[in-house]
Each structure stands twice: as structure tokens, then as C-alpha cells.
Amino acid sequence: MEEAEDMEESGMRRDVDVCKLCLATKKLTSVPDLSRFPFLRSLWLNNNKVIRELSCRSLNCCLTELHLHNNNIGSISGALNHLTCLRLLLLHNNQIRGLEDTTHELRRMQQLRTANGYRLHVIHRLPSIQLLDGKDVKPAERRRSFQMFSQERHRVLQSVAFGRRATSWSSSH
């Protein structure tokens, strides 16, 4: 009901009038069915923090902008490959692993000009890298990449640092 009221306030009377939709910071846990918006071109789903699984099958294949940053997405495999008109895809500050699978998912997007979300993965995979995409690699980025991609090792180091004995999850369960 709130969505319909918001649309009317902005002067939109019909679903076909919607070409931009902002669902940022709505505490969404998944991508809603948006098939009723056939002319949707820009979609903001960022800052929901609780989106973990990504299913975008209901999204129009003519979508050109997709903002998915600041969520908890672990993989985009099988979720975006039909969005061949994307020009902008923002994925930073998620839990995405598997750079190979991710780039495979994006291979059909011939219009894609701006994408992000892979910096921490590259920093983790190439620990000696000092300059990436023309920007210095900051110590805070190294720490975040270590925490994100070496969670078990990070947990052990944290427990040692605080004088506790670390027990491995796999050996105790």
C-alpha cells in the first residue's frame, strides 16, 4: 500500500510510468517481483543489509542500472545473466566470493561500463599488490579483505590475541 501511495505522490499513475525505482534501506530480505514495471531502467536495492540470496529473474532485461551495494549477497551466479543491457552494476560491500563465477555471470553484458565490488577479492588474492585500478591499497582494505575471505584464520588470530584458546568449528562439531 505504501508503494502505491509513494507512486501517486510522485505523479505516477500506472506501473508502465515507472522507469526508476528506489528500494534502498527498506530492510528487504530478497528482491521483490518487479515484473509489473516493464519500463524499469534503474533500480536501487542497496543498503538493505539482509539481502543474502539474489534472484533477479523478475527484472526487466532492459534494466541499465542496478545498485546492489551494502547488502549481504554471497553470490550472483545465475541471477543477473539475463540483464544484458546493464551499463552500471554496483556490488561493493557484499560477501561475494568466487571471482571466476562472478565474471562468468557478467560475460553477456556487452554494455556494462561501470562495475565494482571486486576490489577486496583481488586484494585478498594478491596480497603484495600496492596499486589497484590506479588507487593505493589502504591498510584498512587489507584488513577488511582478510576478515571477509579468511574468516576462520581471522577468528583464530582474534582469539589468540585475546588470550583464549581457539577451537576449530569443524573439529568441535
pLDDT in tens, 11-26: 557 999 999 999 999 9
Is 35 domain-assigned? yes
Is 110 domain-assigned? yes
Is 76 domain-assigned? yes
Is 42 domain-assigned? yes
- Give the residue numbers spanning the domain of 9: 2-117
What is the value of pTM for the model shown?
Answer: 0.71
Is 168 domain-assigned? no
On average, the pLDDT of the chain sits at 82
Is 134 domain-assigned? no
Total number of domains in the chain: 1
Q: Which helix H or strand E contains 106, and what residues bound it? A: helix 99-106
Q: What share of the chain is helix, strand, coil (3-state, %, to 5)?
A: 30, 10, 60
CATH of the domain at 73: 3.80.10.10
Identify each DSSP E strand in 32-158 by its residue range.
42-44, 65-67, 88-90, 114-116, 131-132, 135-136
Q: Specify the amino acid at residue 127.
A: P
Tell me the pLDDT tens digit for each residue of 64-110.
999 999 999 988 988 999 999 999 999 988 888 777 888 888 888 99
Is 87 domain-assigned? yes
Task: Give yes or no for a contact between 34 and 40, defined as CB atoms under 8 angstroms apart.
Answer: yes
Is 123 domain-assigned? no
Task: Give yes or no for a contact between 45 and 51, defined as CB atoms under 8 angstroms apart.
Answer: yes
